[in-house]
């Protein structure tokens, strides 16, 4: 059985990738198992300048899911390139996915330029769920024109494959996907978290200090699957599917919907061995459903 897949010329031994923000820079997980079993891994979202993130509390539980309003806490692009990525290179021998964020086109371009110079970065993943500070605060990812502008700005600065991470908080995700493809994106990652909230019945106030946060976990899987299916039909570039993936069966389902690879997010926070266990269980699922080669089933549900 063959579990390998290819993303923009980058061959992965399997399609399982820990998602950005749910795996740090790999160091903590490297103490638990050999990271080289992973198809790849997406590092924590990086911004141009260091960010402390949102005030506490910024995590809340939901039925079959988790809300977070961490607020892109990270040490900034210089620290990531000078310290985090070199350290990760000693722990993980394959190319990684570098997730970048920004609040202006200039910030996105600067982060992409810095990641372009990093030897162990194979793909640059661009989070367009940030508010555009020069565009009235609306998220780059909710406007096709703004999404295309970010894509173009990043593509001008790097020769590495660029994957745009799409927000699900839109009316028509296919429209955003087509705009990114038209602007030169090499691939798409979806979905980012769904906007959600919880209220504390004792205080009668929102649980999160930020009021609202992003919902992830099994609760969002059917929504993510639907959007991957729609985007696969809308574009010709590869898709990385994510959103509630927590089993080998979920991986197979995502590939059938059109994903070439998947990212595992909240499952890693609940069980730090989640990605390892999903990879180990893939051959069983492939045997059960008569799959010899994972690449053969990509988009088969269409």
Q: Which residues are catalytic?
A: 130
Using only the alpha carbons of the chain, give its radius of gyration: 18
H or E element that contains 229? helix 221-234
Burial pattern 134-169, b for ≥16 Cβ within 10 A else e, equals ebeeebbbbbbebbbbbbbbbbebbebbbbbbbbbb
Residue 10 pairs in a beta bridge with 7
Q: Which residue, chain included where needed, has tokens 């993943």?
A: 125
Q: What backbone torsions phi and psi does residue 140 show, to the nearest 5 degrees?
A: -55, -35
State how far the alpha carbon of 251 is from the alpha carbons of 2, 14, 63, 69, in Å: 14, 10, 22, 26
CA distance 284 to 291: 10
| Closest C-alpha to 278, from 243, 251, 244 | 251
Is there a cis peptide before residue 57, judged by omega within 30 degrees of 0? yes
Residue 68: phi, psi to the nearest 5?
-135, 145
The pair of structure tokens assigned to 100 is 């970048």
Q: Quick check: 262 and 251 in contact, CB under 8 A?
A: yes
- Coil vs helix vs strand at 139: strand
């Amino acid at each position: 059985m063959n579990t390998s897949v290819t993303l923009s010329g980058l061959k992965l031994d399997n399609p399982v990738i820990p998602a950005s923000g749910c795996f740090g820079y790999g160091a903590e997980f490297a103490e638990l198992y050999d990271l080289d079993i992973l198809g790849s891994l997406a590092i924590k979202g990086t911004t141009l300048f260091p960010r402390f993130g949102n005030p506490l509390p910024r995590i809340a539980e939901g039925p079959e899911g988790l809300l977070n309003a961490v607020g892109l806490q990270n040490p900034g692009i210089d620290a990531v390139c000078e310290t985090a990525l070199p350290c990760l290179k000693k722990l993980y021998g394959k190319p990684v996915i570098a997730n970048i964020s920004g609040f202006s086109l200039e910030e996105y371009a600067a982060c992409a330029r810095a990641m372009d110079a990093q030897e162990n970065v194979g793909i640059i993943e661009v989070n367009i769920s940030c508010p555009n500070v020069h565009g009235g605060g609306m998220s780059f990812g909710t406007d096709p024109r703004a999404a295309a502008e970010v894509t173009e700005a990043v593509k001008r600065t790097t020769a590495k494959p660029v994957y745009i991470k799409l927000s699900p908080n839109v009316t028509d995700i296919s429209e955003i996907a087509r705009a990114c493809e038209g602007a030169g994106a090499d691939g798409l990652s979806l979905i980012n978290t769904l906007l959600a909230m919880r209220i504390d019945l004792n205080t009668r106030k929102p649980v999160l200090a930020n009021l609202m946060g992003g919902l992830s976990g099994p609760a969002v899987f059917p929504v993510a699957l639907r959007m991957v299916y729609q985007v696969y039909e809308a574009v010709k570039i590869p898709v990385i599917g994510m959103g509630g993936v927590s089993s080998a069966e979920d991986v197979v389902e995502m590939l059938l919907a059109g994903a070439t690879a998947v990212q595992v997010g909240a499952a890693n926070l609940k069980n730090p061995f989640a990605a390892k266990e999903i990879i180990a269980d893939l051959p069983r699922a492939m045997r059960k459903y008569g799959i010899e080669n994972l690449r053969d089933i990509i988009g088969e549900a269409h």
